[in-house]
Structure formats: structure tokens, C-alpha cells
Structure 1
């Protein structure tokens, strides 16, 4: 969403009960855009958000929202104090994998053929990066694992998984058997995508699934948050991310530049 109005004043005081923030005019539009992005991530409809002539962001027609207040709405209380730990501004959930998790084992014993090869390639997508955790394929054993994700293969093309809980990645991923019919690249894409959810990534186009799916609306907060990751685009594009809601026959299974930015920002 673009800001509805650009403010031309030199400096503005944004205020709410008990706090004030002085923003230089050169920074105001950037700050307001972040506030608007945060409000959208928090579930407010675009129609309820506006930027007044005095440069303040208002929601619901009468409530002024400051930058810090907008950050708190999406679970980033004390953002400045922890900027070196978790950056925001791709999309993530409020839950991430704990930094103490060094080895995530992927039990791929149920996979064979194209899906098995695709799993190896998907794991390599993560292990080729210098992340805070390593992914290791196993066949039922969890020895030496800090966390384990079990793969299953059933149903139609596509996949399903979940989001981290208690500092651990989500423990189950299902990939439809017929995903293999689309070829190795697409199967790699689907598995990489589902593992992405397991470590906390939301759909890049969660706010408008039609971008990658051709139809569908806003997934909303979904009870897990939709926090914009620092340095990534504020809008999604077809084939712009492995974490887009839907794959297509041209999906490559390879990270895009914004995917890599998001991974490095979080892990």
C-alpha cells in the first residue's frame, strides 16, 4: 500500500497517550509507510488507515498510531533494544526457531524417487547458507538432533506444514505424491517452501493470494502474526519468492534475492 498523502512539513510530532516522537520531515514518509505496513500486518483493512494533512497516521477515523505503537501491535515491543537480535521488515510469524537449535533433522524415510531427490535439494537450499542451524537428512533416527521434522507423502500436488512452537520448528511436513509429476524443480520448490513455514515464514503474498494463485484474498494475521522482514520488498510479485502462496510449472525451487535477504535477517 502506498501512503495516501505525502507530508511536506519540516517536522511533525506523532503522539498517543503518554508518548511523543519527533520525526524529521525527510524521514516522515518512510516512518509513516512502516506504520501503515505494520497496521496492515496487524489485520487492519486498508480502508481504515489514512495519513492526515498534519502527517500523522490515523486508524479507524480517530486513533493516532505512533511508530512504536504500530511495532507493538505486531509483537515487536522494545524493537530498538533488540534490533541486533530480530530484525523485521518477506513476512514471518511471531514465533521463530530458537537460536540454540543447531541441528534440525529431516526424516525423509517415506520419500522415494523424485520426491526423495527433491528433499535432498531442498535441504541443500538451506545448508548451502551460513544459517544459525543446519539441516540433516535422517531415516527415522533422531540421534544428535536438536529438533526433527518428519516428512510424509500423500494426497494431491502441493504441501502442508505449520509454524514454530516453543522455539522448535514445526515437526511435520506433508507433500502430495503427485507433486512429483510436475518435475524435480517444482517438487524442490514445494518442499523448500514447506520447510520455510516450519522455521517461521509466512506467505510473501499472504495479503493477496491472487498474486501467485490467480484467486484468493488476504490470509490475515492467522493467529501467528505477519511481520515484514527488514530489507525485503513491501509487495509480492509472481515468482518473486519461494514463499509465494502457490507454485506453478515454472517454479525453480531456487531462492530469490529477497528470500536470501529474509533468511539472513532471521537466521
Structure 2
């Protein structure tokens, strides 16, 4: 049985005293740091002296200590529990005919795909329809001037992206930003400022996001969120250039 399959739940109690008779001092410290950083105790697991989040994300002692540094903690770029599996390397992104009829949106899609492909990740995005892909995402239109998508499951990216036709009235950079952001969700990125969307939205609406059962797993080494600091912020800044920030690039390279 693999270590991952053997993961068992932490049952430390409210004070985290004595996480099992065989737990090491280091394991106890990692667990206490995670809870202090605001991560739910029922999402923390231990197996063979190692600590995991969401069942499959190992957290080292150094990483857990970084979560408690002033100004950082759990307020960093986060991913979902599920990611795109290692067998997925070539992803077909297929826009509908209706989507293609909006020239600004179609150009934005090309630029968004180029944003990811320029990083040399193991995930390569191809505008379809074409053949030889290990996963497919359909891009279609919806109302409004934003975008939306879901999160990975069963090792595959989410299969649909919805892009508001209202974006065709805005700049090409804004369309590029919105679609790049949506692709980020399909491969497991959550909103950088999920705990306080006012960081990018400038208002208390929308409020903080819940886990939704899909997890807020911190990506190591990410700085705290700031306006314009990540393409995965909740709201799009009016002066966006549609490009990844250095933190986005570092996070994506860490994951893929």
C-alpha cells in the first residue's frame, strides 16, 4: 500500500496535544502550524511521520513555518485538492462557433493560451478542434463581462469555460486576462485573495469564499496577495495587461 493510501486522519483534539503515541515532535509542530495558519484540522492527515493536506499534499516543517511569517500565513496563492494528472500533457481548447463570432474574445483566447504555453509547462494548450489531445476544454459564451469555469476532477481539467460576450466591448488585454484566469481554475488554481476579495475588488462584496470541499492548499513561496499581484485575484484591475505576474509564473511552475 502506498504512503498516500495509508494516510489516516489526525485526531489531536482542540489543543493538538499528543497527536497519537508515535507522533514525532516535528510532526506535532507541523500540524500545530497548519491549524494556527487557519487550515481546518479535519483536512490535515498524518502518515509514516509526514503531514498532508487534502490527503495528498505533503507539508514540510519549513513550509509550515513559512505560513506563520508576518504578512503571509495562509494568505497566498492556493490550489485545489485535485490537480490535472500526469497523463494529461496536451489539452485541446475548443471554442464554439458562437464564441468565434466575437473577434475580441477569439483573440483573447489565443493570447491566453500563449500565456501558458510560453512557460514550458508539462501542460500544453492547443486551440482546436484537433486530434491527439489527452483532455478537452470547450469554450462558449455567456452573459456579462466576465468568465467562469470549474476545477479539475478525476485527473482532468474542468471541461468548460464560459466567457461573457460583454468582454467584447472592453480591451483585448481584459479579454486575455479573463480567459487566462478561467483556464487557471480549470487546472486547479483558486482565487489568490479568496479570504478577502476586497483586496482586488475594492469592496466587501463578494465576501470571503468557502472551501467548497475542494480545498485551499497553499503553494509554497508565494507572497501575500495585493491589487494586481496575481491574474488569479478575484477581480480584474482596470489597467490589466492580461499577463502573468512573477508570482503566477512561479506558482504554475511549482505545480506543473
TM class, shorter-length = 0.7 to 0.9
1:130 aligns with 2:120: yes
1:225 to 186, 190, 215: 215
- Contact 1:142–1:148, Cα closer than 8 Å, also in 2: no
1:151 aligns with 2:154: no
| Runs (5+) with no aligned partner, structure 2 | 1-15, 64-73
1:236 aligns with 225
Q: TM-score, normalised by structure 2?
A: 0.76
Cα distance in 2, alignment partners of residues 187 and 245 from structure 1: 15
| Runs (5+) with no aligned partner, structure 1 | 1-12, 45-64
Cα distance in 2, alignment partners of residues 208 and 246 from structure 1: 11
- Contact 1:114–1:180, Cα closer than 8 Å, also in 2: yes
Change (3 A) 1:236 1:17: same
Alignment of 1:53-68 (within 5 A): none
1:247 aligns with 2:236: yes
1:74 aligns with 54
- Contact 2:141–2:163, Cα closer than 8 Å, also in 1: yes
Q: TM-score, normalised by structure 1?
A: 0.73
1:57 aligns with none
Residue deviations 1:53-74, cap 9 Å, x none?
xxxxxxxxxxxx9998995453
1:42 to 40, 43, 55: 40
1:258 aligns with 2:247: yes
**3-state secondary structure, aligned to 1:16:** coil
- Contact 1:42–1:73, Cα closer than 8 Å, also in 2: no
Question: In the comparison of the two structures, how many residue pairs are matched?
Answer: 219
- Contact 2:35–2:41, Cα closer than 8 Å, also in 1: no
**3-state secondary structure, aligned to 2:25:** strand
- Contact 2:45–2:55, Cα closer than 8 Å, also in 1: no
2:188 to 200, 203, 209: 200
2:12 aligns with none
1:105 aligns with 2:92: yes
Q: Give the superposition deviation at 1:102.
A: 1.2
- Cα RMSD, aligned residues only: 3.0
Residue deviations 1:35-59, cap 9 Å, x none?
533xx24389xxxxxxxxxxxxxxx
2:24 aligns with 21
Residue deviations 1:189-215, cap 9 Å, x none?
000000000000010011111111222
2:152 to 156, 161, 164: 164
Residue deviations 1:206-238, cap 9 Å, x none?
1111111222322121110010001112x3111
Change (3 A) 1:77 1:104: closer
1:180 aligns with 168
